[in-house]
Amino acid sequence: CTVFAESDMIHKQQMGHRTEDIVYGLCQALVRNYLNNVGLGKDIKPLIVFQGGVAFNQGIVKALQEELNAEIIVPPHHEVMGAIGAALLAHEEMVNNNNGSKFKGFGISEVKYHTSSFECKACPNQCEIAQLSLNGQVLARWGGRCDLWERSPSS
């Protein structure tokens, strides 16, 4: 529990333990927690590749290496490997099942959207409603205190 961990860390500081030792102890606790929850029942053996943003934390990498008694490989671009994998799976699903894509294309940033706003007079709130349009077609509206303008303009 975070509250107990914080309390323990404060107690260790008051006892004169070095900050780096306290932080490393926290890394070890996080690794044990991960292995006892997410890793429970899984046979983790080499080759171990550590991906995701947490792999930036060298203390966690070291603690994981010590806990598993194995080399931990942190590949380049580890922070986006999950996103790349998800994109590959989505592409495979799209190709294999002949599904279309809602992807608007890499040139989407060049599209000239029009933004505008108006004051809603449907009730005493008189909310300012923002509106996004493309080629004269309203794509979205937002900003009301009620849900009058929150539904899709096409519905």
**pLDDT tens for residues 97-124?**
887 777 778 888 888 999 999 999 988 8
- Residue 78 neighbours by CB distance under 10 Å: 17
Under CATH, to which class is 2-80 assigned?
Answer: alpha beta
Domain borders along the chain are 2-80, 108-142
Say whether pLDDT at 146 is over 70.
yes
Q: How far is CA 21 from CA 10, 67, 144, in A?
A: 13, 16, 51
Place of tokens 């008189």: 126
H/E stretch holding 3: helix 2-14
Under 8 Å between Cβ of 59 and 35: no
Non-local (6+) Cβ contacts of 106 within 8 A are none
Q: What is the pTM of this model?
A: 0.57
Instruction: Give 50-95 pLDDT, tens digit per residue.
Output: 999 999 999 999 999 999 999 999 999 999 999 999 999 988 988 8
